[in-house]
Chain A
Amino acid sequence: MKKNGVKMIKIKAKNVDVFYGKKQALYNIGLDIEENQVTALIGPSGCGKSTFLRCLNRMNDVIDICSVKGEILINDFNINDKSCDVVRLREKIGMVFQKPNPFPKTVYENISYGPTIHGMAQSKQEMDEIVETSLKKAALWEEIKDRLHEPGTGLSGGQQQRLCIARAISVRPEVILMDEPCSALDPIATAQIEELIDELKKEHTIIIVTHSMAQAARVSQNTGFFHLGHLIEHGSTDKIFKNPDNTKTQDYITGRFG
């Protein structure tokens, strides 16, 4: 999105290095992510694209041996700074995982969990509204409005993933991280999620890691190509897919490796 012709940068990564123990997983990553756009991260398995994604909401903290160096600025605030509170960071940066992982609770409880722990609803009525809008935004309301008090784990795979998206947007995050959100779904469910992503980018900045280059081409405006821990090339999706600068990108896009 452009404001007065200038691209609005939501996230700015500078010189990011990530280590698992002694092994370095990411080398000197620098990447700007535009606000209210979909940025796709592509690359072969083990290239570090998921690792980079998990840096953005500090999910790598969970892994004992993982250490992150460098600056990641979100709204000009360095989230790797000691003063950054991860709980508030993750309230602003939602995440959707590869495998649908609803809590083994009801649909309603799945969505109300985030607003409850962040104290976003004062009454039952407000909570009902949050649940309804979140499900509507995730294009799930019509399908399951009568099943709000049934277990979320009883839904189909595609519905579960949309439930997870609804859960993520229930706390009105500014950014949504998606880690291969369609890799466990069939083509129809995938199409539904892709449509949803296009809709969501009006209100959220979206970063999606994907294995499918077709998907990256379909849903994203910007693309970053990772290889062996390096960010090889990034730019607008059009340019990356039609006229890449780097031969490695060219080879990967055309299916010569990966």
Chain B
Amino acid sequence: MNKSKEQLLNKRYKAEQRFRLYGLSAIFMALLFLTIFIFKIFSTGYSAFQKTWLIVPVTFDAELMMLEQNPSNEDLQDADYYDIALKSMADLDPNANEDQENELKRMVSYFFEKEIKNELLNNPGLIGKTKEVYLTASDDLDQVFKGNYPRDLPEDQRRVSDYQLKIFDQLVAKGKVESKFNISFFTYADSREPELAGIASSFMGSIFSILVCLMIAFPVAVLAAIYLEEFAPKNRFTDFIEVNINNLAAVPSIVFGLLGLGVLLAIFHLPRSTPLVGGITLSLMTLPTIIIAARASLKAVPPSIREAALAMGASRMQTTMHHTVPLSMPGTLSGTIIGLAQALGETAPLILIGMVAFVNTIPGSPMDPAASLPVQIYIWAESAERGFVEKVSACIMVLLGFLIIMNLFAQIIRHKFEKKWS
């Protein structure tokens, strides 16, 4: 009898040990996947924050630029920079034939003319002189310099010719190739050329969408939650509403996109591809999340507080507004931020309402066409150019950073304000 009791006890201890082991290995697996994911993103993406520049001597020849003597600022604006830009590239190899001159030109981005112009506008005294100017390297050479380009492929399968590589290697040997922090990744809008593509337009698009979403979803959701929790009678109708709010939270996001397309664009003719429409669509998606969070935190306010206020002769409205709602705010706000973070990462509904269009301007208001960060990731991931690979990862890093900051903020609000009175 005693022995079997001991066996039983041993068995129970062993079962507990096994269970702990399962739990531990589950956590280990999750961490492993997370580490692999983050490592992959960072190792692919970090190079996007560097940009390769070619340092090319440019002679600001007044004659080639069609400039009179003592030109005014306006003259400088209107001057022709294309010829001196072409000439400075061609001069990299004095023996180049016409085809090779063309190839030399393609070693830098098509912004090279503008970059030379800016140099002169900043320093008009350069006319007639020669100065080394930083020109953005073409995306392929950028990748070559970063070591991401397979140089050993046969030439006809490469976008960089042997000739370009030869000249590039000479420049590298002379120290005329430099890598600098890629500011333009944050300040430029999207572009077909990876070396000129930035996240400014999608970043602003995301910010505007989230703001529109917040301004619509937060008040509507909070009012709905307060009504349902504090005022609505508990009957079949409110039960029905509650079930449907929970259902709404489970509706696939693409359905909301179809709604935006069918109603906002087709019936109300709101401007296509804009953060306004994107924000409204996302707010529909965020509504149930915020309502559920707000109701949960209203429920968590102890009934004794409501009774205290009611017994003092406060009306129901005063009880709610003076006591229940302020006490539920930390929970409601952190739920809101989490809902917004979800909306921030949403892609499918935005694609349907046209925020996937190629936008090379930075939006100044929610009424301007824009992309959003997750859609930008999608657009770049689809592009063929090798230069976009690192850009995709870099954009994911920015989006993740954004999300981490928002979630952190939600945590801080929750902890700081909930502890205050306990």
Chain A interface (Cβ within 8 Å of chain B)? 57, 59, 62, 64, 87-91, 94-95, 97, 99, 101-104, 113-114, 117-118, 151, 153, 164, 167-168, 171
CA distance A168 to B308 in the complex (A): 9
A114 touching B313, Cβ below 8 Å: yes
- The answer, yes or no, to whether B304 is at the interface (CB within 8 Å) is yes
Say how far B3's CB is from chain A's closest CB, in angstroms. 48
Residues of A within 8 A of B307 (CB): 59, 62, 95, 97, 101
**Contact of B76 with A by CB under 8 A:** no
Contact residues of B between 310 and 343, Cβ < 8 Å to A: 310-315, 318, 322-323, 327
Query: Closest approach, in angstroms, between the C-beta of B59 and any C-beta of chain A?
Result: 75
Q: Does B233 contact A (CB under 8 A)?
A: yes
Kindly state whether residue B266 has any CB partner on chain A within 8 Å: no
Most buried by A among B302, B305, B308, B421: B308
Decide if B305 touches A101 in the complex (CB within 8 Å).
yes
Residues of A within 8 A of B304 (CB): 97, 99, 101
Whether B309 is near chain A, meaning CB under 8 Å from some CB there, is: yes
Whether A114 lies near B312 (C-beta < 8 A) is yes
- Asked if A164 and B308 make an inter-chain contact with CB atoms under 8 angstroms apart, the answer reads yes
With contacts A87-B315, A88-B313, A114-B312 taken as known, whether A153 is within 8 angstroms of B422 at the C-beta atoms is yes
Bound-state CA distance A88–B315 (Å) is 10
In the complex, residue of chain B having the shortest beta-carbon distance to the beta carbon of A113:
B312
Are B312 and A117 touching (Cβ within 8 A)?
Answer: yes
Quick check: is B234 within 8 A (CB to CB) of the other chain?
yes
Instruction: Give a binary string over B399-422; 1 marks a CB under 8 Å from any A CB, 0 the rest.
Output: 000000000000000000000111
Q: A91-B313, A114-B313 are in contact. Are A64 and B233 (CB under 8 A)?
A: yes
> Which residues of B lie under 8 Å from residue A89 when comparing CB positions?
313
Known contacts: A64-B234, A97-B304, A104-B305. The answer to whether A171 contacts B327 by CB under 8 A is: no
Q: State how many residues of chain B have any CB contact under 8 Å with chain A.
A: 22
How distant is A135 from chain B, measured CB to nearest CB, in Å?
16
CB pair A97 B312 closer than 8 Å: no
Please give, as numbers and ranges, the residues of chain A lying within 8 Å of B309 by CB-CB distance. 103, 113
Q: How far is the CA of A103 from the CA of B304 in the complex (A)?
A: 9
Least CB separation from A98: chain B residue:
B304
* Interface residues in chain B, defined as those with a beta carbon under 8 Å from any beta carbon in chain A: 233-234, 302, 304-315, 318, 322-323, 327, 420-422
Bound-complex Cα distance A101 to B310 (A): 12
How many Å from the CB of A116 to the closest CB on chain B?
9
Assembly CA distance A117 to B320 (angstroms): 13
Known A113-B312, A171-B312; 16 more pairs at CB < 8 Å: A57-B311, A59-B311, A62-B307, A64-B233, A87-B313, A87-B315, A90-B310, A90-B311, A95-B307, A97-B304, A102-B308, A104-B421, A114-B312, A117-B322, A151-B421, A167-B312
Of B233, B311, B322, which contacts A94 at CB under 8 A? B311
Q: Distance in Å from the Cβ of A103 to the closest Cβ of chain B?
A: 6
Please measure, in the bound complex, the distance between the C-alpha atom of A247 and the C-alpha atom of B56, giving whole angstroms.
112
- Min CB distance A114 to B, Å, is 4
CB-CB under 8 A from B305, the residues of chain A are 101, 103-104
- Asked if A153 and B421 sit within 8 Å, CB to CB, the answer is yes
With A and B bound together, what is the CA distance between A228 and B312 in angstroms? 30
Instruction: Give every chain B residue within 8 A of A151 (Cβ-Cβ).
Output: 421
A254 to chain B, nearest CB (A): 34
The 4 closest A-B pairs by CB, nearest first: A104-B421, A101-B304, A95-B311, A90-B313
Closest to B327 in A: A104
Interface pair B310/A59, CB less than 8 Å apart? yes
Least CB separation from A164: chain B residue: B308
Contact of B313 among A102, A104, A117, A153 (CB under 8 A): A117
Contact between chains at A62 and B310 (CB < 8 Å): yes
A215 to B313 Cα, complex, angstroms: 28
A114–B304 Cα distance when bound, in Å, is 16
Contacts of A164 in B (CB 8 A): 308
- Nearest residue in A to B235 (C-beta to C-beta)? A64
Chain A residues positioned under 8 Å from B310 (CB to CB): 59, 62, 90
Chain A residues with Cβ below 8 Å from B312 are 90, 94, 113-114, 117, 167-168, 171
- 5 A-B residue pairs with Cβ-Cβ distance under 8 Å, sorted by A, are A87-B314, A101-B304, A104-B420, A113-B322, A114-B313
Give chain B residues whose Cβ lies under 8 Å from the Cβ of A62. 306-307, 310
C-alpha gap A35/B327 in the complex (Å): 38
Point out the residues of chain B lying under 8 angstroms from A104, CB to CB.
305, 327, 420-421
> Complex formed: what's the CA distance from A87 to B311 in Å?
9
Chain B residue with minimal CB distance to A115?
B312
| Contacting pair A103 B313 (CB below 8 A) | no
Q: Is the CB of A171 within 8 A of B313?
A: yes
Instruction: For the complex, give the distance between the alpha carbons of A113 and B323 in Å.
Output: 11
Please name the residue on chain A nearest to B308 by beta carbon: A101
A104 to B417, CA, bound (A): 12
How far is A87 from B309 in the complex, measured between Cα atoms in Å?
A: 11
- B422 and chain A: residue at smallest CB distance: A153
- Interface-centre pick from B305, B313, B315 (highest chain A CB count, 10 A): B313
From residue B327, how far is it (CB to closest CB) to chain A in Å?
A: 7
**Chain B CB within 10 A, most for which of A57, A59, A97, A101:** A101
Q: Which residue of B lies closest to A88 (CB)?
A: B313
Give the docked Cα–Cα distance between A87 and B316 (Å).
9
In the assembled complex, the CB of B285 is this many whole angstroms from the nearest CB of chain A, namely 33
Give A114 to B234 CA distance when docked, in angstroms.
29
A-chain residues with CB within 8 Å of residue B234 when the two chains form the complex: 64
A118 touches B421 (CB 8 A): no
Chain B residues near A153 (CB, 8 Å)?
421-422
Alpha-carbon separation in the docked complex, A155 to B304 (Å): 17
Inter-chain CA distance A97–B311, complex, in Å, is 10
Q: Given the complex, which residues of A lie within 8 Å of B322, measured CB to CB?
A: 113, 117
Give complex CA distance A167, B311 in Å. 10
